[in-house]
């Protein structure tokens, strides 16, 4: 019995402790009315129910069929190009068909008029210039030598004339001796010597006269060699001047395309005559050049409106119109085999501070496929396993019925309905109608 009394005392102590804890928490022996209003005098044996959530309002899935136009967005890639710019082409050098670029001003640099922008390798022209200078010096020396030789020849001819005149005077004196004073054969000899002296003088004068007449032509002949050497030297100097190009105007320096390597021109490249090396664009005339494949070309027309975004400026958008379309396709790049047309698009507003040449652009052109036709959104049009198109026709999801339709033009958002539904009909979006397909 003593053991049972001890256990009873321990239980009473634990019960009192639990009661004290519950009382301090305000949970012990609350009135029934406080625990569950309206149930006074009854013990609340069930937990208080959680209030039910408000019913979710059904999403509006009805669509009233109306007439509309069917559009499809044609997306083109393109780049910014100035309509007006000064093009720097590879020079036309007589002695070589190609030239190596040795210097280019930094691309994108703000260039001032007169700044050096391009240089080409002139080592071969330097050696040609040295050879031309040597040839010119030889021509000058040849002129001096020829002139000295001709002057010496003139002196010899003048001496010959003088000697012939002296001989003639001597022969004339002997010829004047009377015939009666000389033997017959001696007289005849003097007369013969006189005739010979006259002929010798005449011949000497003719030789001098011929010399004087040919003097100018002989000098001109050697002068031609000198002139030719001077012309060759001037050509080389002119070609060398073409290898050093200074900016003809202010602008931003833009490199040309190296079609062989499918990249921009850079120092060390060999460029052919007339090839575009760089340009100084007028940024106020910036346009967007879009590339159009032949399958899309027929959908475009001049003055069509479009929107454009620049890959380098996320969020920046501009509007414009198609200004022109090329009538002949060309390769987009030297290494590309695909042919494309070009659509030149004029932006409504040009911002030179943001729009830089060479920036890539995305061009979105809405193409109208059909006007004033019965149209439904694509999400309201289904397609079964047999390839038939259908819609859910009705005003409530539980009572909607399947209606097969014939479609026409299909745009990005709307589809033309040729038959099956008419304007004013109500449709239920796919996935909401509780009908059998």
Confidence label for 296 from pLDDT (cuts 50, 70 and 90): confident
pLDDT at position 42 over 80? no
Measured in degrees and rounded to the nearest 5, phi and psi for residue 331 equal: -75, 140
Angle at the Cα of 37 from the Cα atoms of 31 and 39, rounded to 5 degrees: 75
Place of tokens 């036709």: 373
Query: Which two structure tokens, joined as six digits, stand for 242?
Result: 């073409």
To the question of domain 123-242 being in CATH 1.10.287, the answer is: yes
DSSP secondary-structure letter at 94? Answer: T
pLDDT at 260: 78
Sequential DSSP letters for 252-267: E-EE-EETTTTEE--T
pLDDT: is 44 or 342 the higher one?
342
Mean pLDDT of 228-242: 90
Look at residues 311, 360, 321 and name the one whose alpha carbon lies nearest to residue 344: 321
DSSP secondary-structure letter at 212? Answer: H
Mean pLDDT of 289-302: 89
- pLDDT tens figures, 345-384: 999 999 888 888 888 999 999 999 999 999 999 989 999 9
Look at residues 316, 324, 326, 329 and name the one whose alpha carbon lies nearest to residue 362: 316
pLDDT at position 23 over 60? no
- 33: which residues sit within 8 A by CB, 6+ positions away? 39, 40
* Percent of all residues in the chain with a pLDDT value above 70, rounded to a whole number: 84
- 399: which residues sit within 8 A by CB, 6+ positions away? none
Look at residues 370, 407, 411 and name the one whose alpha carbon lies nearest to residue 387: 407
Determine contact, residues 244/144, Cβ cutoff 8 Å.
no
Report the distance separating Cα 120 and Cα 240, nearest Å: 9
pLDDT at 32: 35
- 138: which residues sit within 8 A by CB, 6+ positions away? 229
- pLDDT tens figures, 225-234: 899 999 999 9
Place of tokens 């040839």: 135
pLDDT at 57: 40
Confidence label for 333 from pLDDT (cuts 50, 70 and 90): low
H or E stretch at 271: strand 270-272
- pLDDT tens figures, 56-82: 344 447 899 999 999 999 999 999 988
Determine contact, residues 346/320, Cβ cutoff 8 Å.
yes
pTM over 0.85: no
pLDDT at 433: 53
Mean pLDDT of 245-274: 87
pLDDT: is 34 or 8 the higher one?
8
- 188: which residues sit within 8 A by CB, 6+ positions away? none
Confidence label for 329 from pLDDT (cuts 50, 70 and 90): confident
Report the distance separating Cα 277 and Cα 199, nearest Å: 76
CATH node for 85-120+246-281 = 2.40.50.100
CB count within 10 Å of CB 409 equals 18
H or E stretch at 331: strand 330-331
pLDDT at 5: 54
CB count within 10 Å of CB 243 equals 18
CATH node for 63-70+369-428 = 2.40.420.20
Mean pLDDT of 282-291: 89
427 DSSP β-pair partners = 63, 393
Average pLDDT, the chain: 83
b/e map 371-407, b = 16+ CB within 10 Å: eebbbbeeebbbeeeeeebbbbbbeebeebebbebee
The lowest-confidence range among 157-171, 230-244, 323-337, 403-417 is: 323-337
């Amino acid at each position: 019995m003593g053991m049972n009394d001890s256990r009873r005392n321990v239980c009473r102590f634990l019960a009192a402790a639990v009661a004290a804890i519950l009382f301090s928490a305000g949970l012990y022996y609350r009135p029934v009315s406080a625990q569950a209003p309206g149930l006074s005098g009854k013990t609340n044996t069930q937990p208080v129910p959680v209030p039910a959530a408000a019913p979710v309002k059904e999403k509006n899935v009805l669509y009233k069929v109306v007439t509309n136009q069917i559009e499809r967005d044609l997306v083109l890639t393109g780049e910014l190009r100035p309509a007006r710019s000064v093009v720097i082409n590879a020079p036309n050098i007589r002695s070589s068909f190609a030239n190596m670029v040795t210097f280019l001003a930094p691309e994108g640099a703000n260039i001032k008029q007169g700044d050096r922008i391009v240089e080409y390798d002139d080592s071969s022209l330097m050696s040609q210039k040295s050879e031309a200078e040597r040839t010119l010096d030889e021509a000058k020396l040849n002129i001096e030598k020829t002139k000295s030789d001709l002057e010496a020849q003139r002196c010899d001819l003048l001496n010959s004339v003088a000697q012939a005149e002296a001989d003639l005077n001597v022969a004339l004196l002997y010829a004047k001796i009377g015939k009666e004073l000389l033997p017959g054969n001696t007289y005849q000899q003097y007369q013969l010597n006189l005739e010979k002296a006259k002929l010798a003088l005449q011949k000497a004068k003719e030789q001098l006269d011929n010399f004087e007449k040919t003097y100018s032509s002989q000098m001109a002949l050697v002068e031609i060699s000198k002139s030719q050497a001077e012309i060759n030297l001037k050509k080389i100097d002119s070609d060398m001047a073409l290898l050093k190009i200074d900016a003809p105007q202010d602008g931003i320096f833009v490199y040309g395309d190296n079609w062989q390597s499918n990249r921009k021109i850079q120092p060390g490249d060999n460029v052919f005559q007339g090839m575009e090396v760089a340009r100084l664009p007028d940024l106020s005339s910036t346009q967007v050049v879009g590339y159009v494949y032949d399958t899309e070309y027929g959908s475009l027309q001049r003055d069509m409106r479009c929107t454009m975004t620049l890959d380098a400026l996320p969020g920046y958008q501009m509007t414009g119109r198609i200004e022109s379309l090329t009538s002949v396709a060309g390769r987009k790049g030297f290494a590309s085999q695909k042919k494309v047309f070009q659509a030149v698009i004029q932006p409504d507003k040009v911002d030179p501070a943001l729009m830089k040449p060479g920036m890539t652009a995305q061009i979105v052109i809405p193409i109208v496929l059909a006007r004033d036709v019965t149209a439904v959104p694509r999400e309201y049009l289904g397609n079964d396993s047999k390839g038939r198109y259908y819609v859910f026709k009705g005003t409530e999801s539980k009572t909607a019925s399947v209606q097969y339709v014939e479609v026409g033009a299909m745009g990005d958002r709307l589809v033309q309905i040729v038959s099956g539904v008419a304007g004013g009909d109500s449709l239920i979006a796919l996935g909401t109608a509780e009908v059998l397909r």
